[in-house]
Amino acid sequence: MHFAFDEDQLEFRAQLRALAEKQCTPADIREAWASPLGWSRPRWAALAEMGVVGITVSEEFGGMGLGLVDAVLLLEEAGRAGLPEPLVETIALGVPVLADAPGQQGSVLRSRWLSAVADGGVRIAVGMSSMPAVPGAEGAELLLLERDGELHAVPAAAVALTPRPALDGSRRLAQVDWEPSPSTLVVSGFEAEEVLAALGDRAAMGVGAVLVGVADRLVAMAAQYAKDRSQFGKPIGSFQAVKHHLADALVRVEFARPMVYRAALSLSEGDRDASLHASMAKAMASDAATLAARTALQVHGAIGYTWEHDLHLWMKRAWALAAAWGDAATHRARVLEILLAKRP
């Protein structure tokens, strides 16, 4: 038992944090929001250069060959930094699907896409038929799309996109029109059920990690503001109502975090309770982020309600991701279902 990250993992996070401090300031995020793509190609290239984008790609294809436990800290950091780049879909969803894709088609997909992902030339978007629109579809070179329980790998050239604007300016959603064909099929039938279930679990964990980072940032911003802003002749952070709001939000974030880490560990080890752990993590992370957003806004007062203030860059991410890949209530229902299916 050693429930902690090792030095290399922490060092990797420190590098990403340093990069984000330089290249992902609130002004950079705003610029991304205003750009056609919603994120920045040079920053994606810098992330690829650092090894972040290819973290889960095997060394054979020029990646880092690392796992979800290594990735989880980076995803959390991405949330904290407010990185507009859609990292989760590529590193936690797409790459593992390609890595495990069965048969001849699997090896074709791997040699066609994986080194390009690691090089930073390819982004992967993931769309389920239950989604109203696919996030990050614009700018993705490869789309993994589910229909009728089958999973397909569709190159960008074979889809038609209709942009669907979203509240979070860097979450570019699009309606994707495409036709399944034998040449795009990755898995079907019973096998697809398993692949899609695992994909959903990784999404819950990965998005959960981003949410914990987002929530952490929101609490930090609000705590800083509570020290800086004075009313009645003293910092508002000296008022107990403000303190208690922030303490409660912080507690929810701090207790969600190890749940997300454990989910990453269980998924990477193929633990038989991995789905349970992923759902527990997403339920806690969604709630922590929603509470942090609500609290941070309240602590900021009217200034937090403006477009001009940076708070909304993180709040909107929190709201969007809290609902993505199953909201808290959905995952709680799943947790209970899984527990009831176990005989005592």
Q: Which residues bind other proteins (CB under 8 A)?
A: 1-6, 69, 219, 223, 226-227, 234-235, 237-240, 242-244, 246-248, 250-251, 254-256, 258-259, 261-262, 265, 280, 283-284, 329, 332-333, 335-336, 339-340, 344
In the complex, least distance from residue 261 CB atom to other proteins, rounded to whole angstroms: 7
Task: Answer yes or no: are the C-beta atoms of 296 and 318 closer than 8 Å.
Answer: no
Q: Quick one: 97 or 221, whose CB is closer to other proteins?
A: 221
- Positive or negative, the CA dihedral 71, 74, 76, 79 is negative
140: left (phi over 0), alpha (psi -120 to 50) or beta: beta
In the complex, least distance from residue 342 CB atom to other proteins, rounded to whole angstroms: 9
In the complex, least distance from residue 213 CB atom to other proteins, rounded to whole angstroms: 17
Q: Quick one: 2 or 272, whose CB is closer to other proteins?
A: 2
175: left (phi over 0), alpha (psi -120 to 50) or beta: beta
In the complex, least distance from residue 100 CB atom to other proteins, rounded to whole angstroms: 22
Q: What is the largest CA-CA distance in the chain?
A: 71
**Can you read off the two tokens belonging to residue 274?**
């991995």
In the complex, least distance from residue 14 CB atom to other proteins, rounded to whole angstroms: 17
How many C-beta atoms lie closer than 10 Å to residue 156's C-beta? 17
In the complex, least distance from residue 279 CB atom to other proteins, rounded to whole angstroms: 9
In the complex, least distance from residue 3 CB atom to other proteins, rounded to whole angstroms: 4
**Can you read off the two tokens belonging to residue 304?**
């937090």
Q: List the beta bridge partners of residue 147.
A: 150
For residues 66 and 5, give the distance between their C-alpha atoms in angstroms, rounded to a whole number.
Answer: 13
List the 150-155 sheet strands across, edge first: 124-127, 142-147, 150-155, 185-187
Q: Quick one: 223 or 289, whose CB is closer to other proteins?
A: 223
**Can you read off the two tokens belonging to residue 312?**
């909304």
**Can you read off the two tokens belonging to residue 68?**
């979800």
188 by Cβ neighbours in 10 Å (0-12 / 13-18 / 19+) ranks as middle
How many C-beta atoms lie closer than 10 Å to residue 277's C-beta? 23
Q: Quick one: 5 or 178, whose CB is closer to other proteins?
A: 5
* Residues with Cβ within 8 Å of residue 191, at least 6 apart in sequence: 102
Q: Quick one: 39 or 261, whose CB is closer to other proteins?
A: 261
* Residues with Cβ within 8 Å of residue 161, at least 6 apart in sequence: 137, 138, 174, 175, 176, 177
Q: Quick one: 31 or 273, whose CB is closer to other proteins?
A: 273
In the complex, least distance from residue 24 CB atom to other proteins, rounded to whole angstroms: 24
**Can you read off the two tokens belonging to residue 249?**
């939000």
Q: Quick one: 6 or 49, whose CB is closer to other proteins?
A: 6
Q: Quick one: 150 or 216, whose CB is closer to other proteins?
A: 216
CA atoms within 13 A on the CB side of 140: 32
In the complex, least distance from residue 257 CB atom to other proteins, rounded to whole angstroms: 8
Q: Quick one: 22 or 342, whose CB is closer to other proteins?
A: 342
For residues 153 and 140, give the distance between their C-alpha atoms in angstroms, rounded to a whole number.
Answer: 12
Q: How far is CA 207 from the centre of its chain?
A: 3
